[in-house]
Structure 1
Amino acid sequence: MGDKDGTSHSAEGSALGFWYQSLYALLILLEQSSDDAAVGIEQLDDIALTADGHDLLYQLKHSIAAKPLPVGIKSRSLWRTVKVWIDLLPKVSLAETGLHLVTVGGIVEDDPLAALSEADSDRDPLASAMAEEAQRVVEARAEAKANGQSPLPYADRKDGCEAFLSLPPAIRLNLMRRVTLKIESPTVGEIEGHIEARLTLLPAGQRAHVAKKLIEWWDRQIVYSLCGKRERVIGRPELQAQISEIVGELDQGKLSADFETVQKPLEYQPDGMLTRQIALVKGGNADIDKAIREEWRARAQRARWATENPALASMINDYDAVLTEHWSDRHSQMVEDCKDFEEDGKCKSGLDLLRWTHNEAPTAVRPIQEGFGAAYYVRGSYQVLAIGLQVGWHPDYKDLLKEGE
């Protein structure tokens, strides 16, 4: 991934940089018209695009700084990128490869690098200027070394400078002729709006919703591609099919399962009532972990549905009543059956009821909408209801929890 000029090397900057890389790949693919277009990230370059038999490689220089540094012939980001591209030369055909340097900043005033932002510009002066700059860096390091200076200057760009000087002048020029500099590109805070703007074939009122769903799907595909759960590249036909599916769900009023594969945030802490309810029936760590995970997913899903369409609030409440009735039938029977049980027997029956919500309820209770089969919503909604004491697992849960207050 490209270095992040103008930022601290913080976890935040790295995470945003990677996300920017993912979103920029989506934006690039949306801009293509060729059906054979496909993109992948972290392969030959930050982003690799194949379209119409040509390869386009992208190096991204993102920044979360309020005023991103402009790029110029002395920039470390330029020379680091040059080193990456020179290392790739044995693996690509320059005649069929375009190289893109993408930055959210501008260009240093009156810098020779400006030639890269102009199509069909003469690259000879730039190649000569870069050779002079590279030579200056190499000589400055040699002089510093002879004088016993430590550390040596220009450590952040010396590899690129040395690699550039190692190329024959004709190859240097040919390399620069394949490069395009894209300046003042959208930042990570702006790029979602650009993705939305690319959905021009959709009604204006649908674009924001579709873009949001599309980005969530895209993020999952990128992660899957990097960990080997899918092909490394994503093609335009697959992207178009996903857009059509999202639009179809929207037109039909179909509920979407947005959190089925989403993991809860590491810092998430559920309401203490969830664990207290499980502790009453002596549930184990596996019961607690599953309950917390599904409660977060269901809570997040309920909030999203209600936010995107306030009319769904009544559907959510009505379905809670359905869940509660199914629970009540079982709990009432359990209370009768456990009337003469010792505490251990009551706990075992209550634990069985808790595990029923995990294992059987998702198929025993009708779905909230026909065709909606995400089990986490049933499992997690029972935990949401348990937090509110609308349901419980122990035969005497209300009395025991009230006593514990």
Structure 2
Amino acid sequence: MSEASSTDHSAADSAIGYYFQGMFALNQLLSYSSDDVAVSVETFDDVVLHVGNDLSLYQLKHSLGERPPPLTVKTDKVWKTLKAWIDALSAADIDVTEFVLVSTAPCQDGSPLLYLIAGIPPTPGQINELALALTVEAERVVAERDAAKAEGKSNNDLPHKAKYPGCQSFLDIPMANRQELLGKTRFRPNTFNAADMPFVIGQKLNYIKKDIRDLVVESLLSWWDRQVVLSLLKKRPPRLHISEVQSEISSLVVHFNTEKLSTDFLDAEAPAAYVPNSLMLKQLELVKEKKAVIRYLVQEEWRSRNQRDEWLHEDTRMYDKLTKYDSYLINEWSLRHECLSEDCSGLSEEKICFESRSLLKWSFDEAPTKLRPIKEGFIFSNFISGSYQILSGDLSVGWHPNYKVELKDTNK
């Protein structure tokens, strides 16, 4: 990898890492319902959770890689974490503070770090075993550094640059303090990564109706990301409280429940000069549909197309909703088209066209009243018939059993 590429990659990783901090903080906050809960980002630690007078300091080690290397007592990231926590001991009340290492990487099988898995309090014997394993590793690192110095190597050439500060700090505190710190430490390996955040937050909001949940999650993540940035810029208090999040969620639920889709085009007339999609017309001509029906469907296509454009202009988030709804329409059409193809096997072209027109009729006669609308309570059923014509214009659906073969040359 070139130097420029390496720099770009590092910058991207850092940006995603900071994003993950904020989203992880939100996820922790949503795990509580009491009023005296708050989080802060990049204050005493990557993320700090405040529950009453108790603190949880989170060190986050994030990777988007499919198989990040497992953590052990030799891992640089573990020692960087210990260094940060040892430095924080002078300002923290250890009696009310919990230290949590969160990593998207797994823990190596058999490692004494497994004793710290969150939710399973370690025994004194396990804490002692881990403290001894870390002490042995720290002494090895310091000894190898000292040996390299004795050989006359420069500071830039000394080994263990990343973990040496943590190793030295660990050895500088008495064994009893090492054990006390480890006794207050928890480890969460194999955690979700930044790409999982919409799903993870969506699970926390599973009490919200499914048809608006994705919209609420998307809007909540955008709002939260801004709150984190404002806190880092000191444009708002550093602590973000659960009450703020609950209030925002309530507002979003009300907004999306009461949001009305505009219908300006669904009862409008297409201009006389409107030129419809050529593939849509060829699909209708392929099944020898009547001219009156074609005129009607051109009108429906124009209405749906322009209504979609207006919705997207009003709110770009409608893109995902329309995409999902189109997938639903295609799925409903797909089985019927497959059955049509089987029924038409061996029939004459005249009979094939007759059967094909039945499927087409379903798209503008039955589907608009029997398929679910794009939004609960949306009464303009002609949006569905027009949408099917839009989808036929890019061959996502069709009426003839072999429409893709018949129209392949015209789609070039």
Range into which the TM-score falls when normalised by the shorter chain: 0.5 to 0.7
TM-score by length of 2: 0.61
Secondary structure of the 1:190 match is: helix
Tell me what 1:304 maps to.
316
Q: Which residue identity lines up with residue 245 of structure 1 in the other structure?
A: S
| 8 Å CA contact 2:312, 2:318 repeated in 1 | no
1:48-67 correspondence to structure 2 within 5 Å: 48-67=48-67
User: 1:117: Cα distance to partner?
Assistant: 1.0
Q: Which residue identity lines up with residue 243 of structure 1 in the other structure?
A: I
Structure 2 residue 257 is the aligned partner of structure 1 residue 245: no
**d(CA) in 1 for partners of 2:322, 2:171:** 63
User: 1:34: Cα distance to partner?
Assistant: 2.0
**Runs of 5+ consecutive residues of structure 2 not aligned to the other structure:** 1-6, 262-309, 324-412
User: 1:69: Cα distance to partner?
Assistant: 1.6
User: 1:155: Cα distance to partner?
Assistant: 0.8
Structure 2 residue 169 is the aligned partner of structure 1 residue 163: yes
Worse-matched range after superposition: 72-81 or 139-148? 139-148
1:291-341 deviation digits (Å, cap 9, x = unpaired)? xxxxxxx99864615425559xxxxxxxxxxxxxxxxxxxxxxxxxxxxxx
Tell me what 2:232 maps to.
226
1:4-403 correspondence to structure 2 within 5 Å: 10-117=10-117, 119-122=120-123, 123-150=127-154, 151-253=157-259, 302=314, 304-307=316-319
**Runs of 5+ consecutive residues of structure 1 not aligned to the other structure:** 1-6, 256-297, 312-405
| 8 Å CA contact 1:34, 1:52 repeated in 2 | no
Q: Which residue identity lines up with residue 85 of structure 2 in the other structure?
A: W
Tell me what 2:391 maps to.
none
**d(CA) in 1 for partners of 2:150, 2:98:** 40
Count of aligned pairs between the two proteins: 264
Cα distance change of structure 1 residues 9 and 71 upon mapping to structure 2, 3 Å threshold: farther
Q: Which residue identity lines up with residue 121 of structure 1 in the other structure?
A: P
Secondary structure of the 1:189 match is: helix
Q: Which residue identity lines up with residue 129 of structure 1 in the other structure?
A: A
**d(CA) in 2 for partners of 1:161, 1:27:** 32
**d(CA) in 2 for partners of 1:254, 1:230:** 33
Cα distance change of structure 1 residues 144 and 305 upon mapping to structure 2, 3 Å threshold: closer
**d(CA) in 1 for partners of 2:232, 2:115:** 35
1:230-262 deviation digits (Å, cap 9, x = unpaired)? 11111001110000000010111069xxxxxxx
Worse-matched range after superposition: 115-124 or 13-22? 115-124
Secondary structure of the 1:191 match is: helix
User: 1:204: Cα distance to partner?
Assistant: 2.5
Worse-matched range after superposition: 36-45 or 148-157? 148-157
**d(CA) in 2 for partners of 1:162, 1:102:** 23
| 8 Å CA contact 2:201, 2:217 repeated in 1 | yes
Q: Which residue identity lines up with residue 238 of structure 2 in the other structure?
A: R
Cα distance change of structure 1 residues 61 and 8 upon mapping to structure 2, 3 Å threshold: farther
Tell me what 1:399 maps to.
none
Q: Which residue identity lines up with residue 195 of structure 1 in the other structure?
A: I
Cα distance change of structure 1 residues 301 and 212 upon mapping to structure 2, 3 Å threshold: farther
Cα distance change of structure 1 residues 230 and 299 upon mapping to structure 2, 3 Å threshold: farther
**d(CA) in 1 for partners of 2:317, 2:57:** 39
User: 1:70: Cα distance to partner?
Assistant: 1.1
**d(CA) in 1 for partners of 2:105, 2:316:** 35
Q: Which residue identity lines up with residue 222 of structure 1 in the other structure?
A: V
1:125-144 deviation digits (Å, cap 9, x = unpaired)? 10111111101110011111
| 8 Å CA contact 1:226, 1:232 repeated in 2 | yes
1:352-374 deviation digits (Å, cap 9, x = unpaired)? xxxxxxxxxxxxxxxxxxxxxxx
Of the two, which has the highest radius of gyration?
Answer: 2
Identity across the alignment (%): 35
Q: Which residue identity lines up with residue 174 of structure 1 in the other structure?
A: E
Cα distance change of structure 1 residues 305 and 16 upon mapping to structure 2, 3 Å threshold: closer
**d(CA) in 1 for partners of 2:319, 2:41:** 33
Cα distance change of structure 1 residues 310 and 161 upon mapping to structure 2, 3 Å threshold: closer
User: 1:64: Cα distance to partner?
Assistant: 2.2
**d(CA) in 2 for partners of 1:137, 1:308:** 53
| 8 Å CA contact 2:212, 2:257 repeated in 1 | no
| 8 Å CA contact 2:104, 2:193 repeated in 1 | yes
Tell me what 2:349 maps to.
none
User: 1:124: Cα distance to partner?
Assistant: 1.0
Cα distance change of structure 1 residues 136 and 251 upon mapping to structure 2, 3 Å threshold: same
User: 1:195: Cα distance to partner?
Assistant: 0.7
1:144-179 deviation digits (Å, cap 9, x = unpaired)? 111223411101000000000011111100000111
**d(CA) in 2 for partners of 1:100, 1:301:** 45
User: 1:182: Cα distance to partner?
Assistant: 0.2
User: 1:66: Cα distance to partner?
Assistant: 2.6
**d(CA) in 1 for partners of 2:244, 2:194:** 24
User: 1:18: Cα distance to partner?
Assistant: 0.6
Tell me what 2:362 maps to.
none
Cα distance change of structure 1 residues 55 and 301 upon mapping to structure 2, 3 Å threshold: farther
Q: Which residue identity lines up with residue 316 of structure 2 in the other structure?
A: R
